[in-house]
Structure 1
Amino acid sequence: MSEGKILVLKMFMDSSDYIYNFTGKLSKTILLIEAPELEFLFRPVKGFFKPVRITPPLSGYRSIIPVYELENGNWVLKPVMLRGEYIVEIGADNNTVNLLYNRFKQLEGVKTRFKFENTVVSYVVENISIQTPDLHVDSTITVKTISPALIPHPLVPTQHIRRFTTSPGSLLWIPYMINHGNLSYNQQDVAKAVLELETCFAEHYSTKQKTIFINYDNKREPALQIKAKYIVITRERKCEEIVWSILRTARIYGIGASRVNGFGSIMIETPLKQRVGGG
């Protein structure tokens, strides 16, 4: 299951009005307009880890999403308008990425318009590429969210109980499961994942995290933004293989829950500040 690639869409987008809902849903809408046969990948299935992720529109690898801000003791939603060039990433297995590449390739330069809730959105695909993450194991690695993450508790199989921590066992247990081909929740397998992750990784003191509040279908939801620096505890071959394979899987498929709706996409940086995002 660790095989996979990242489709990178460079698009010009324009919205006729402000967007109030989480824009990961907008990216998903575009994908399903062009490839409706993939709708089955996005159906909610309890306890199932979907091997696909998508980003909201990105500008400079920063998500363009409505967020709540606290003003005079009240939460105020700050909507967004789209106008300009954005990136949308889709991480999936090789066959799905190849299918989407061919589908979007036919649309280069073609303007498409659709209604998204209260606004009309138009987009033009300007460039398409496929990336294969190339990661080398070093003594430290930094994981940075490019879309906010929803981190379920590894030992409680419900999305309603979340973790707001950067511990490796909490942050990376879902990529671990996907990497090992375990797409359904099993507490014994999850406990093994947490143990191996905590054995090989430890957070560095410089790690930063922030809880933000986003609007998802008119609900104010807390989500996690991080820039987490990890120390590789041991350079034993087993740990090096775990670090390489799990972080590669996390880059492709994301971290946490609701990755198909735009949550949990990451970039990875090495000590040389090389972003692990392409081949």
Structure 2
Amino acid sequence: MSGVQLRKLGALWRLGVAEATAYRTSLLVWVLATTMPLISLVLWRALARGGPIGDYDQAGFDSYFIAAFVVRQLSVSWVVWDLDGQIRTGALSALLMRPVHPVAHHVMINLAALPLRTALAAPVAIAVLLVTGGMSITTNPVALALAIPALVLAWCLNFLTQLAIGCLAFWLTKAAALYDVWIGAYVVLAGYLVPTSLFPAGLAEVARVLPFHAALGFPVELLIGRLSSAQALAGIGLQLVWLVVIGGIAALAWRRGLRAYGAFGA
């Protein structure tokens, strides 16, 4: 990557930080809107008071749902809403005229908000840690080495999924509404409300190979030490498979969408 390209990306990063700072109240609302794992923690902790549920006791639920909250904060994206609005209003045309690819623009804008989002979420996570007594972290060296890559891939999966759905705005009036369907499935199948290992037999196996689990449940289980080295490596492999599949769909939708966009003279 050339120095010119790095300077362009740096400028986008600074723009993203400025936007996140300017809209910090909205960002805080977004953080609070993703506290469902902490609500689930209270519920499952109470249910486990009389004894373990499946392979989770109270401490296990504490670790799982605190980690789920953290992973969700670090892997969030909102490109689907930005892209949907830009396509519908024609604002995408201005992005296409810039010397930086529009997708790179969205990547940097989304990433630049993560530090502030993390800072806003930290007091919530710390408060829960103090109330519950903390969470366990894996001591498996393989899992520890894979934790950061797993989080990065989780973010990439969420971003590319939203990009693919956002590209549907090239043909549909309100593509972002379709993301509500995806997020509904995500909430149920990703391990967001209940660990997938507690799903009924059959459903658990299916859920664990879907992209929803790859984007949340897998990195959570990796962080809290519920996966062997072999399972951790297999999980990273599955993340990469879904990254290629969803990335290919997003790239195809982008290329064909731009042709449709240009055909209307936008």
TM, length-normalised to structure 2: 0.25
Q: Whose helix proportion is higher, 1 or 2?
A: 2
TM, length-normalised to structure 1: 0.25
Q: Which has the larger radius of gyration?
A: 2
Q: Whose strand proportion is higher, 1 or 2?
A: 1
